[in-house]
Amino acid sequence: KQEVTQIPAALSVPEGENLVLNCSFTDSAIYNLQWFRQDPGKGLTSLLLIQSSQREQTSGRLNASLDKSSGRSTLYIAASQPGDSATYLCAVRQAETSGSRLTFGEGTQLTVNP
């Protein structure tokens, strides 16, 4: 059974700081890994998706890396802003799973202080 863990559970940083969020998964046989953002009272917004054959993906100030063999991914946020405050969720999709079931981690709650 796939288990996804995210560290830290919560993080508070001053504006402008670069930061790294960590995600680990127990079963390395994944199809892809996805990072989401969740704002209070709202649904999930997809940030980045990394296919199992890829090492990293970048979008603006966000960079996600994947080390499939060690079961790890990181989300790097450069020059953080107060608007980045949200919960960040990591999710993996198994290669053998029909459809597109996602297994989520518990999330990292990020607060960026002005």
Q: Which two tokens stand for residue 60?
A: 């603006």
42 Cβ contact partners less than 8 Å away, ≥ 6 residues apart: none
Where does this chain bind another protein (CB under 8 A)?
Answer: 4, 31-32, 34, 41-46, 49, 89, 91, 93, 97-102, 104-107
By beta-carbon proximity to another protein, the closer residue of 15 and 106 is 106
* Residue nearer to another protein on the CB measure, 96 or 114: 96
- The nearer residue to another protein, 14 or 41, going by C-beta atoms, is 41
- Report helix, strand or coil for 83: helix
C-alpha separations of 1 from 27, 31, 59, 87, 103 in Å: 8, 15, 31, 24, 10
Residue 9 is classified by DSSP as: S
Nearest-approach distance from CB 93 to another protein, in angstroms? 7
Provide the minimum distance between the beta carbon of 18 and another protein in the complex, in angstroms, as a whole number.
25
When the beta carbons of 7 and 78 are compared against another protein, the nearer one is: 7
Return d(Cα 10, Cα 21) in angstroms, integer. 10
User: Least separation, in Å, of the C-beta of 114 and another protein?
Assistant: 26
Q: Supply the minimum distance, in Å, between the C-beta of residue 97 and another protein.
A: 8
